[in-house]
Amino acid sequence: MNCEESLALMHLYLDGDASEEEAQQLREHLKSCPDCNQHYRELKQTESLLSGAAYELSAPAGFTASVMANLPKEKKRVGYMRWFRAHPVITAAAVFFLFMFTSIISAWNSDGSVSVSKQEGLIVENDLVIVPEDVTVKGDLVVKNGDLDIRGKVDGDVTIISGDLIDDPGAKVNMASADNITGEYQEIDRIFGWTWYHIKEIFTF
Amino acid sequence: MENIIKYHIKNVKKGDHAAFEEIVSFYQNKVYHIVYRMVGDSHEAQDIAQEAFIRAYTNIHSFDENRKFSTWLYRIATNLSIDRLRKKKPDFHLDAEVKGTEGLDMYSQLAADQALPEQEVESMELQSYIHKEILSLPPKYRSVIVLRFLDDLSLAEIGEILDLPLGTVKTRIHRGRELLRKKLRHV
SS3 sequence of A167-196 = EECCEECCCHHHHHECCCEEEECCHHHHHH
Question: Quick one: B119 and B73 in the same domain?
Answer: no
If DSSP codes are grouped into helix, strand and coil, which group holds residue B109? helix
Among B53, B88, B123, the domain-final residue is: B88
Closest C-alpha to A157, from A187, A130, A133? A187
Tell me the per-residue pLDDT of A35-76, one tens digit each, with 9 for 90 and over: 999 999 999 999 988 887 776 678 888 999 999 998 887 555
Q: Is the pLDDT of residue B72 over 90?
A: yes
- Which of A42, A45, A49 should one mutate to test binding to chain B, selecting the residue with the greatest count of B CBs within 10 A? A49
If phi over 0 gives left and psi between -120 and 50 gives alpha, with beta otherwise, what is residue A16?
left
**Closest approach of B140 to chain A, Cα-based (Å):** 17
**pLDDT score recorded for residue B91:** 47
φ and ψ at residue A87, rounded to 5 degrees: -125, 70
The Cα of B91 is separated from the nearest Cα of chain A by a number of Å equal to 30
Q: For residue B181, which residues of chain A lie inside 8 Å, CB to CB?
A: 39, 42-43, 45-46
Q: Are residues B112 and B84 in the same domain?
A: no
> Closest-CA residue in chain B for A57?
B33
For residue A7, the distance in angstroms to the closest alpha carbon of chain B comes to: 10
pLDDT at B123 over 80: no
Give A-chain residues touching B143 at CB under 8 angstroms: none
Asked if B54 lies within 8 A of A71 by C-beta distance, the reply is yes
Average pLDDT over residues B34-62: 93
One domain for residues B163 and B118: yes
pTM for the model stands at 0.59
Confidence (pLDDT) at A170: 46
State whether B137 and B80 are in the same domain. no
Query: Confidence band (pLDDT; 50, 70, 90) for B167?
Result: very high
Mutation target to probe the B interface, by most B beta carbons within 10 A, among A10, A47, A68 is A68
pLDDT band at A20 (very low <50, low <70, confident <90, very high): very high
Which has more pLDDT, A23 or A85?
A: A23
Q: Count Cβ–Cβ pairs < 8 Å, chain A vs chain B.
A: 100
Nearest CA in chain B to A41: B185
Number of domains chain B is built from: 2
CATH number at residue B69: 1.10.1740.10
Residue A5 has pLDDT above 60, yes or no: yes
For B170, the domain range is 106-184
pLDDT in tens, B89-103: 654 455 555 555 555
C-alpha–C-alpha distance, residues A131 and A158, integer Å: 12
Q: What is the pLDDT of residue B142?
A: 94
B26-42: average pLDDT: 93
Buried b (16+ CB within 10 A) or exposed e, B135-169: bebbbbbbbbbbbbbbbebebebbbbbbebeeeeb
Nearest to B28 among A52, A64, A85 (CB): A64
Indicate whether B93 belongs to any domain: no
Q: Are B70 and B111 contained in the same domain?
A: no
